[in-house]
Amino acid sequence: MKQDPTDLADQFRKEIEGEVRFDKYSKILYSTDASVWQIEPIGVVIPRHKQDVAAIGRVAARHKVPILPRGGATSLSGQTVGNAVHIDFAKYMHSVIELNTEEQWVRVQPGVIQDHLNDYLRPHGFGLGPDTSSSSRATLGGMVGNNSAGSHSIVHGKMIDHVMEVKTVLSDGSEAVFGPVNEGGLDSLRRGDSLENRLYREALGIGEIYRDEILARFPKLIRRVSGYNLDELVRNNGHYGAGYSSRPGPFNLARLLVGSEGTLAVISEAKIRIVPLPKRKALLLVHFRSLLEAVESVEEILRFEPAAAELMDDFNLKQAFAKPEFAEQMGYVDRAANALMVVEFYGVTEPEVASKLDRLKVHLEKKRIGFSYLPVVDPVQQANIWNTRKMALGLLMSVSGDKKPIAFVEDPAVPIAKMPAFLRGFQEILETHDAHGGYYGHASVGCLHVRPMINLKKASEVEKMGSILDEVSALVGEYGGSMSGEHGDGIARGKYNKHLFGAEIYGAFKRVKALFDPENIMNPGKVVDAPEPTESLRWGADYQTIQIDTKLNFEREGGLARAIENCNGMGVCRKRDVGTMCPSYHATLDEEHSTRGRANALRAALSGRLPAAELTSKRMYDVLDLCLECKGCKRECPTNVDMAKIKYEFL
Ligand SMILES: Cc1cc2nc3c(=O)[nH]c(=O)nc-3n(C[C@H](O)[C@H](O)[C@H](O)COP(=O)(O)OP(=O)(O)OC[C@H]3O[C@@H](n4cnc5c(N)ncnc54)[C@H](O)[C@@H]3O)c2cc1C
Ligand code: SF4
């Protein structure tokens, strides 16, 4: 960027009502998401309304400065980190604008949090289809950006199946609304010289030119979120969409933007389809002697048309049993199990769901699939079980020491029939590299979350991470899968799109990127032209922290630095409705006043990203000042970050 950052900040200040922060601390605070990558932004802008978003787009276009939209920054693949001006939608732009229950849609600002939207919709008998485990702080903008999905995607699909229309700011600073367009509408939209007109003209052309290759090369999976959704540009039986990863419909460029990770346009408003809530729900917990047996059972379980089939392995179960707050909720689980499948059924009446549970139970017993089957109809117990499943990742991350189960090959999806062979292949790769990991995931749709144990502070382990990525991508290709089933490409997997989709389709991805963003200012380096995933790591072989003689005893945590490093960025401290953590964030909705923000600032000072003198500076004092020392984080953070204790030490 040739632009002087101070001038640039002034330009933004002149044109927006929201906040503009280009100071070093703000850059540190926005340099991470929930992934293992870290890159300092150019600065941060916090829009108050869609006029601000349009103005941000105009300034960025005028100065050719990269921008990166951001919601809760709970992404696991590094797509929300980058050297760009970050646009924080979560602080001010979190309103529901309009609800239409008759037509079943809602219009939202991008910073609306999933759980908040569901709380708003529940009294009307509706909910959002995709349900991520990060629902307490993930935003609708981020869900659209990542094409997020959840436990019930076998019924509700992914975000692409729910996004009806988006209001956007394009890379030239112009604004455009993308929604369903009929053939007559397409004819007129194709004509003209605006960027919007060009997008219609050339996107349709790309769909025609690459049609055969797209139909041949795109993985035939519900859970394909890697790459751009070129399959949406393909005309097929009177509709648009190949029908592999979404339901075909009228031509709609909004569906190409879904999952594009902020690389094609910035969304300032979205119209989202909502779904009626099920009247009754019930669970069957199926226990297995091995993970492989559980995975082998999926096809059989799916014959009974469940609404969800979610997997947890022994690593997850052991971590949950080791934590008193979860062990209490897990009293129902047979401790002899090495894997657990949570199978959910929807229905209208209680007898109906009870009979669905019973039919599956009898069938599995007869076929000797699994060994213990627990029907759960009580709503409180069901909620506890879902809570434990939702916390699976947090539970995995709570292992102590520098070797952590990290996210980089954590999200592959393959056809259900190929899951057992794929799992065996995956396990072999990890065994070869002596990198045992934890497994969980959305078994009903072939999406496995696997987190190998890696110590990113060692060069040899970083190299190992690169080798595992190469080998897993080859395995995914062999089984016709997708490197990402919901978390996105980001820095972790962008590199592999060429290999997985082939050179021709990758060329088409690059054409799409160049069409939407010829100056490469929209979250550059994601989806196409991605950097090496072994670079720009939050830790890494060069990572070192200064030694501090602490007054308090941090032996249990492995020292003060490790106590701070326990924060992995998953952002549970940004939740707002349940529990205590984090009251200062609740009050200001400012990253700086969250447990995660404080941990990031302190880690920066301990590891040299900020001068060590900052540890005793007034600015660091400000970061910690609003912390009420309530210990909410110690109790509620899945990795038990104890910011109150860290603050006592600081003071
Ligand atoms: C513990 C944990 C559990 C998770 N479970 C799931 C799960 O079950 N299912 C799942 O799908 N994911 C899951 N995730 C990943 C992540 O939480 C989801 O993808 C989530 O929807 C991201 O929302 P966010 O607001 O944090 O997005 P961010 O991380 O802030 O952004 C995500 C992407 O969208 C882009 N973006 C954000 N706002 C806009 C906008 N206004 N316009 C254009 N682009 C935008 C960003 O640039 C970025 O590329 C999990 C993550 C964690 C840490
Ligand atoms: S102790 Fe501080 S950081 Fe932790 S939840 Fe309470 S206010 Fe937030």
The CATH number fitting domain 96-276, selected from 3.40.50.300, 3.30.465.10, 3.30.413.10, 3.30.70.20: 3.30.465.10
φ, ψ for residue 425, nearest 5 deg: -60, -40
The pair phi, psi for residue 162, each rounded to 5°, is: -125, -15
| Residue carrying the six token digits 């759980």 | 115
Q: Is 260 in the pocket of ligand 1 (CB under 6 A)?
A: no
Check whether 291 has a pLDDT greater than 80.
yes
Closest CA to 173 of 526, 513, 517: 517
Q: Which ligand approaches the C-alpha of residue 643 most closely?
A: 2
How far is 24 from 158, CA to CA, in rounded Å? 37
How many whole angstroms from 40 Cα to the centroid of ligand 1? 19
Identify which of 37, 53, 75, 256 to mutate to test ligand 1's pocket (most ligand atoms within 8 A of the CB).
Answer: 75
Any long-range contacts for 239-247 (C-beta under 8 Å, 24+ apart)? 240/207, 242/214, 242/215, 242/218, 244/218, 244/219, 244/220, 245/158, 245/160, 245/218, 245/219, 245/221, 246/157, 246/158, 246/160, 246/161, 247/157, 247/161
Is residue 1 scored above 80 in pLDDT? no
| 284 membership: H or E segment, kind and range | strand 280-288
Work out the pLDDT band at 388, boundaries 50, 70, 90.
confident
In whole angstroms, what is the distance from residue 643 CA to residue 438 CA? 27
Lookup: tokens for 550: 């602490």
Beta carbon of 446 within 6 Å of any ligand 2 atom = no
pLDDT at 398 over 80: no
| Nearest ligand by distance to the CA of 108 | 1
Q: Which atom of ligand 2 is nearest to the CA of 636?
A: 5
Per-residue pLDDT at 395 exceeds 80? no
639 vs 304: which has the higher pLDDT: 304
| 626 touches ligand 2 (CB under 6 Å) | no
pLDDT the model gives residue 6: 85
389: nearest Cα among 35, 637, 34, 133: 133
159-168, 303-312, 569-578: the lowest-pLDDT one: 569-578
- Dihedral of CA 279/285/291/295: which sign? negative
- The rounded distance, in Å, linking the Cα atoms of 50 and 72 is 18
pLDDT > 70: percent of the chain: 99
Indicate whether residue 643 lines ligand 2 (CB < 6 A).
yes
Residue 299: CB atoms within 10 Å: 12
What's the token pair of residue 85? 């001006």
Considering only 275-284, 299-308, 361-370, 430-439, which range has the smallest mean pLDDT?
A: 430-439
Residue 23 has pLDDT above 80, yes or no: yes
What's the confidence (pLDDT) of residue 390? 76
Is the pLDDT at 15 greater than 70, yes or no? yes
141 Cα: distance to centroid of ligand 2 (angstroms)? 27
CA-to-CA distance for 343 and 345, rounded, in angstroms?
A: 7
Distance 88 CA to ligand 2 centre (A): 22
Q: By C-alpha distance, which of 626, 324, 75, 575 is closest to 643?
A: 626
Domain regions of the chain by residue span: 5-88, 96-276, 280-398, 560-650
Residue of the nearest CA to atom 2 in ligand 2? 627
Q: Which of 17-26, 389-398, 489-498 has the lowest mean pLDDT?
A: 389-398
pLDDT value of position 188: 94
Query: Ligand 1: which atom is nearest the Cα of residue 490?
Result: 49
For ligand 1, whether the C-beta of 138 sits within 6 Å is: yes
Q: Sign of dihedral through CA atoms 168, 169, 172, 174?
A: positive
Residue 203: what are its φ and ψ, rounded to 5°? -65, -40
**What CATH number belongs to 5-88?**
3.30.43.10
Instruction: Please report the pLDDT score of residue 2 as a whole number.
Output: 59
User: Class for domain 280-398, per CATH?
Assistant: alpha beta
pLDDT over threshold 60, residue 16: yes
Ligand 2 centroid to 585 CA: how many Å? Answer: 9
Confidence of residue 280 (pLDDT cuts 50, 70, 90): very high
Instruction: Kindly state if the Cβ of 583 falls inside 6 Å of ligand 2.
Output: yes
Averaged pLDDT score across all residues of the chain: 95
Residue from 164, 158, 162 nearest 224 by CA: 158
Asked whether 289 and 366 are in contact (CB, 8 A), the reply is no
pLDDT, residue 394, reads 72
Written in H, E and C, the secondary structure of 520-553 is CCECCCCCCCCCCCCCCECCCCCCCCCCCCCCCC
Q: What is the pLDDT of residue 276?
A: 98
Ligand 1 pocket mutation pick from 79, 133, 576 by most atoms within 8 angstroms of CB: 133
| pLDDT level of residue 237 (50, 70, 90 thresholds) | confident
pLDDT tops 80 at residue 3: no
Is residue 160 within 6 Å of ligand 1 at its C-beta? no
Whether the per-residue pLDDT at 319 is higher than 90: the answer is: no
Is ligand 2 within 6 A of the CB of residue 582?
Answer: yes
What tens digit of pLDDT does each residue of 557-591 get?
Answer: 999 999 999 999 999 999 988 899 999 999 999 99
pLDDT band at 228 (very low <50, low <70, confident <90, very high): very high
Q: Quote the CA–CA distance of 434 and 279 in Å, as a whole number.
A: 47
Q: Which ligand is nearest to the CA of 592?
A: 2
What is the structure's pLDDT at 556?
92
Mutate which of 576, 578, 581, 636 to test ligand 2's pocket (most atoms within 8 Å of Cβ)? 581
582 preceded by a cis bond (ω within 30 of 0):
yes
User: In the structure encoding, which two tokens stand for residue 532, read together?
Assistant: 């090496």
**Does pLDDT of 549 surpass 80?**
yes
Tens of pLDDT along 521-541? 999 999 999 999 999 999 999
pLDDT recorded at residue 329: 75
Dihedral angle sign, alpha carbons of residues 194, 195, 197, 202: positive
- Asked whether the beta carbons of 288 and 341 are under 8 A apart, the reply is yes
Question: Distance from the CA of 463 to the center of ligand 2, in angstroms?
Answer: 36
Least confident of 73-82, 399-408, 604-613: 399-408
Q: How far is CA 494 from the centre of its chain?
A: 15
Express each pLDDT in 126-157 by its tens digit: 999 999 999 999 999 999 999 999 999 999 99
**pLDDT greater than 90 at residue 49:** yes
- Residue 413 in this model has a pLDDT that exceeds 80: yes
CA of 262 to the centre of ligand 1 (A): 11
For ligand 1, atom 22: residue with the closest CA: 142
